[in-house]
Amino acid sequence: MGILASLNDFLPLLGTQPFLVLASSSGWWTTFTDILFVLSISGGLAWYFYYYKRKDLLGGYWVAFLVAILGSLIILSIFQDLIREVVYWLISPKIGIYQVANVNLIAVILGGYSMLYIMNRINHNKERRD
């Protein structure tokens, strides 16, 4: 078995699935967390463009915040299922019922890109002269 037979051994007062209520597909909590995520991500993006990148946006931060909310809701409603299917395929690539590889392609892409980025920064971002 192991040292901890279940989460109940680690958190005896909460039971084996203490956070299952957060993953329910219906109820006020799910709607609240969805709205909270959309608002906080849109606010963060508006802050990034307006304050951090110091971009001159029409209407300032608050209009940028509203535009980010509108854009996130449009893209969410159109591409949510497509993006989910692409991410699932990248995590576990299959063609039909046949497993193509047992490698998480997202981890491979992120790891390879980050190491090449670090190597490029160590080399002071020099351009290649052919």
118 within domain boundaries: yes
CA 67 to chain centre: 20
- pLDDT grade for 18, boundaries at 50, 70 and 90: low
Q: For the chain, what is the domain count?
A: 1
13 within domain boundaries: no
Name the β-bridge partners of 94: 99
Residue listed under structure tokens 């980050």:
114
Q: What's the pTM value of the predicted model, to 2 decimals?
A: 0.59
35 within domain boundaries: yes
90 within domain boundaries: yes
Distance between the two ends of the chain, CA-based, in angstroms? 59
Query: How far, in Å, CA of 76 to CA of 99, rounded?
Result: 29
106 within domain boundaries: yes
**Residue of 3 and 107 predicted with greater confidence:** 107
1 within domain boundaries: no
Structure tokens at 28: 């006020």
Q: Is the pLDDT of residue 7 over 50?
A: no
Closest CA to 50 of 41, 59, 61: 61
- Return the C-alpha torsion angle 73, 78, 84, 85, nearest 10: 180
29 within domain boundaries: yes
Q: Look up residue 122 and give its amino acid.
A: I
Instruction: Give the residue numbers spanning the domain of 109.
Output: 24-123
Q: List pLDDT tens digits, range 19-63.
A: 555 555 677 788 888 899 999 999 999 999 989 988 888 888 999
16 within domain boundaries: no
Note whether 17 and 7 are within 8 A (CB).
Answer: yes
- How many CB atoms lie under 10 A from the CB of residue 78? 10
